[in-house]
Structure 1
Amino acid sequence: MNNTDKGQLFSDALLQEIKGRFHYVDLDMNGRERLFFDNAGGSFRLKAAVDALARIDALPDCPERIHELALYLQEVQARGTEDVRTILNAKGGSVYASLTASGAMFDMVRAIAEHVPGTNMVTTVLEHPSSFDAMSLYAERLGKELRIAKSNPVTGGVDVQDIVSLIDANTSVLSVIYASNISGAKLDIQEIVRQARAVKPDLYIVVDAVQHAPHGLIDLQSTPVDGINIAPYKFFGCRGSGISWLSERASVLPHHKLAGKKRDFWDLGSAAPWQFAVITEVVNYVCWLGSHFVAGGDRRALFAAGIRSIELHERALLSRMLDGNERTPGLRRMDNVNVFLDHEDLTKRDLILAIGIDKLEHAQAVREYEKRGVIVYERVATSLYSKRMLDSFGLEGAVRVSPLHCHGVADIDRFLETTREISQAFAGAAAA
């Protein structure tokens, strides 16, 4: 077994530096101690990102002017645009800043579905509603067949062949998620793209990378897709922003834009330069982290090293959570606790877990965790954000647990102790 299959933790000294760069990691805004394990719903915020938003957005200057501060804002936007390319390793194409990543997904799917010939569209059952509903809407509106790849209840993901088998010469677009926001399972995007294009070389492919981007490296040079989105608020940044990239051919498809703008321009209205400033601070941070693991290199090399270190640290945390330690059993060995979709190969998983506690309804479990200073989230079949995915796995619901690389072993152990306390308390109550 490779020594990184179970991950590699940051040093204690580096972890303390990391925690110091984020808001509210150990204490909430009221100064109360807590474990925030709901980063899949919105991650810890970088202090530098929040500061950049306030500093840049406070300026009244319009970047579409010629005076000094307007030119400064143009530089902020240009630097942030290049940093989007740094994150994705993207060459050419267009960067699109929108209010939300969900809105951008609808825009990208619409442009492709409406203007690329074909009689069917392909997606998966595990998609976020923003991509699944966009595909459903335009398939129905355009009279195209929507083909949906099933999930794999063992891995928690979707098998490559189950996607590729739905693609043919008449497929106009494939929309696929990078990683499940319930199971944490990573889809093999590189192999999906390779095999899909073997079936149809000019196939348009759109990827939802919102959940995966903070946890693993994205490389559009090895996975050449036509559209991809990220959400800064789940990537150490701020709410109110969605960032997307479109390939050169996708960017010039007809779309909503001002008539006087270039064919590949996607932003509508005046730019919000703070969106780009926040992206730059995210990349600055990841590059700073990467500088602890590689000597020199360009910005992309430092960024790649930083993201890989995050991936390895989080994998070690996931291993600890599942297998525990000599004092506290992991979730896999804990009485009255179920780990759903527990695939053994941790290299194919991001740091997200779906669990259940016997004798305890999932929303009630979330409340019990909060009473003990731990924030998690329930995913239940009555939610529009969860039902389709849970149904595909044969689950009625789950407690979603999503720490971040800012956490350490002590945080995981505290979570395990809390879980054991809750599970024992309700097992005892049921027995009584």
Structure 2
Amino acid sequence: MLQHTPQGELFPEALSQAIKEKFYWVDEDYTGTKRLFFENAGGSFTLKQAEQDYVHMERIGDCPERTSKTADYLNSVIDKGINDVRCMLNAKGGSVITMLTASQVIYEMTRVAAENLPGKNIVTTALEHPSAYDSAKYYAEKTNREFRVAKTNPETGGVDVDEVVGLVDEDTCFLSVIYASNISGSILDIEQIVAKARAKKPDLYIIVDAVQHVPHGLVDLQKTPVDAINFAPYKFCGLRGLGVGWVSDRFASLPHHKLAAKPAGEWELGSPAPAQYAGVSAIVDHVCWIGEQFEKKNMRREAFALGMEKIAQHERALMQHLLEGTPELPGLRHMDGVEVFLDYPDLSTRDFIVACAIKGLECAEAVEKYAEMDVTVYERVASSLYSKRMLDSFGLEGTLRISPFHCHTVEDVDQFLRITAELIKKQK
């Protein structure tokens, strides 16, 4: 049995309640029905400010590509949004990319890399989201390159650094690697992967899928100098309809779809959407506000970094409580009717996702039972195109995925544990 060692640090109670108030429908759904929503890996709660700012901007019909006071205002919103993308990633230089989804972004980045970079092989991992894995595989086949896949580690739920780096050589076209798993929550050591892979090939291009990790942990491209990275605002309390990417200067200058008259590093096509950029800035405002509840910072990136650190600490403490519980209310690790998968003890290596199963219930059936008790979780099963490869690599048929968010509280976790105990009792 895993030892109970304190990990993480909860928000002060008053701050935790203030954070919850900043979101729509945390404790009830849009119909007013009370519920627990522990499925934020599929799409998080929406910040009220993000939605309000988006609506405000959408009401302005003017085109930002004109000469007027309104156009100046719209462009200031766009500029702030672009700067806030850089703030989130600690990115210097390079170019920001926006599309309808993060999957479209990574497909485009993969296409550009495969069609323009030399090399005989493309390296990725078995843990990738299909948008990254399938695009790498598709372009490896299209460009007649060897497709190399790093194996997962069933103990950690991730992929070992040396497993990835061992597939890289002087003939590698590019490396595509996920930051954190949306099944196990395991965070890959991107800093070491980058350092060791570039020690083997100094000019190696590296693409990172950060969709799962960005809402839960800090990204710092000055420590992990990759060439391309993406994220999805809707999974980070933002809005659907936007996928965001950033590419380095050298990646940005590779041949790509653009208007001929635009600068070489320009990746945007068509008129920009100020409302979407406003939604991104609302996310950064929120995280900075959390950071400033602990310490005032002079620089926006510093406030954002502190806010993300506090979010990660709060979620880690909640995950510890979910797994361990109390003597009066056992956590998932200690419930006879629950099996926890991929349960690596060091929670600092995991985003807030718990994979488990209710004994005697198929995962899809367990999801339905939880729904009957007004709890939203999700199943990841081998029949799903989004999870089969990853589950097979771990030797699992399926799993329940429990993914709360930083606006949740200990009381929310306790409620989930009580409901789970009741569900188990009904199966006996």
Partner of 2:187: 186
Q: Encode CA deviations 1:18-51: one digit per residue, 9 max, x unaligned.
A: 0010001111111111110000000010000001
Q: In the alignment, what sits opposite 1:159?
A: 160
Q: Helix, strand or coil for the counterpart of 2:104?
A: helix
Alignment of 1:119-134 (within 5 A): 119-134=120-135
Answer yes or no: is 1:343 the counterpart of 2:366.
no
Match for residue 35 of structure 1? 36
CA distance in structure 1 between the partners assigned to 2:146 and 2:25 by the alignment: 47
Q: Give 1:5 shift.
A: 5.9
Identical aligned residues as a percent: 56
How is 1:239-258 mapped onto 2 (pairs within 5 angstroms)? Answer: 239-258=240-259
Question: For residues 192-240 of structure 1, what are the alpha-carbon distances to aligned partners after superposition, in whole Å with 9 as ceiling and x for unaligned?
Answer: 0000000000000000000000100000000000000010000110000
In the TM superposition, what whole-angstrom CA distance separates every residue of 1:36-67 from its partner, at most 9, and x where no partner exists?
Answer: 00000000100000011111112111111011
- 1:198-217 superposed matches below 5 A: 198-217=199-218
Q: Does the 8 Å CA contact 2:213/2:351 hold for their aligned counterparts?
A: yes
Q: Name 1:324's counterpart in structure 2.
A: 325
State the SS of the aligned residue for 2:41.
helix
Distance 1:147 1:124 in 2: 8
Is residue 2:424 matched to residue 1:414? no
Equivalent runs, 1:212-361 vs 2, <5 Å: 212-361=213-362
What letter is aligned with 2:161?
A: V
SS of 1:130 mapped into structure 2: helix
Instruction: Tell me the residue number matched to 1:47.
Output: 48
Mapping 1:113-152, distance limit 5 Å: 113-152=114-153
| Deviations 1:258-284 (CA, angstroms, capped at 9, x unpaired) | 111111111111111111101111000
Distance 1:4 1:103 in 2: 41
Corresponding letter in the other structure for 2:237? F
Asked if structure 2 preserves the Cα contact closer than 8 Å seen for 1:118 and 1:171, the reply is yes
AA partner of residue 195 (structure 2): R
CA distance in structure 2 between the aligned counterparts of 1:103 and 1:81, rounded to whole angstroms: 19
- Post-superposition Cα deviations, 1:58-91, rounded to whole Å, max 9, x if no partner, equal 2111111011111111110001000000000000
The answer to whether the 8 A contact 1:64-1:70 is kept is: yes
- Return the alpha-carbon distance in structure 2 between the equivalents of residues 214 and 293 of structure 1: 19
RMSD, aligned α-carbons? 1.0
> Do 2:6 and 2:320's aligned partners in 1 also have CA atoms closer than 8 Å?
no
- Quote the residue 1:65 is aligned against: 66
- 1:266 maps to a residue whose letter is W
Note the alpha carbon deviations across 1:325-378, whole angstroms, 9 max, x for none. 121111011012100000001110110011101110100100100111110001
Cα contact 1:205–1:227 (8 A) shared by 2:
yes
- Partner of 2:12 in structure 1? 11
- Structure 1: how far apart are the matches of 2:68 and 2:7? 54
CA contact (8 A) 1:175 1:206 kept: yes
In structure 2, the partner of 1:390 is: 391
Report deviation, 1:423: 1.6
C-alpha spacing 1:81/1:5, structure 2 compared with 1 (3 Å): farther
SS in 2 for 1:303: helix
Q: Partners of 1:293 and 1:140 in 2: how far apart?
A: 51
> Which stretches of structure 1, 4 residues or more, deviate above 3 A after TM superposition?
none
Task: Give the equivalent residue in structure 1 for 2:198.
Answer: 197
Confirm whether residue 174 of structure 1 aligns to residue 175 of structure 2. yes
Distance in structure 2 (CA, Å) of the matches to 1:378 and 1:328? 24
Give the residue type in structure 2 aligned to 1:176: V
Q: Deviations over 1:146-204 (max 9, x none)?
A: 10000000000000000000000000100000000000000000000000000000000
In 1, Cα distance between the equivalents of 2:13 and 2:296? 21
Partners of 2:46 and 2:239 within 8 A in 1:
yes
The residue identity in structure 1 corresponding to 2:151 is K
What amino acid maps onto 1:128 in structure 2? H
Instruction: For 1:108 and 1:296, locate their aligned partners in 2 and report how far apart those are by CA, in whole Å.
Output: 34
User: Shift of residue 424 of structure 1?
Assistant: 2.0
Q: Which runs of 5 or more structure 2 residues have no equivalent in the other structure?
A: none
Give the Å deviation of 1:295.
Answer: 2.5
Indicate conservation of the 8 Å contact 1:49/1:278, yes or no.
yes
CA distance 1:132–1:288, change in 2 (3 Å):
same
Measured in 1, the distance between the counterparts of 2:220 and 2:418 equals: 38
Distance in structure 2 (CA, Å) of the matches to 1:271 and 1:52: 16
User: SS of the counterpart of 1:102?
Assistant: helix
**Would the aligned equivalents of 2:339 and 2:356 in 1 still touch at CA under 8 Å?**
yes
Structure 1 distance, partners of 2:133, 2:63, is 36
What SS does structure 2 have at the residue aligned with 1:293? coil
What are the within-5 Å matches in structure 2 for residues 104-119 of structure 1? 104-119=105-120
Relative to structure 2, which stretch is displaced further, 51-60 or 231-240?
Answer: 51-60
Aligned length, in residue pairs:
425
CA positional deviation for 1:297: 2.5
State the one-letter code of the partner of 1:344: P
Does the 8 Å contact 1:97/1:275 carry over to 2?
A: no
CA distance in 2, matches of 1:169, 1:139: 16
Residue in structure 2 matched with residue 20 of structure 1 by the alignment: 21
Secondary structure class of the residue paired with 2:52? helix
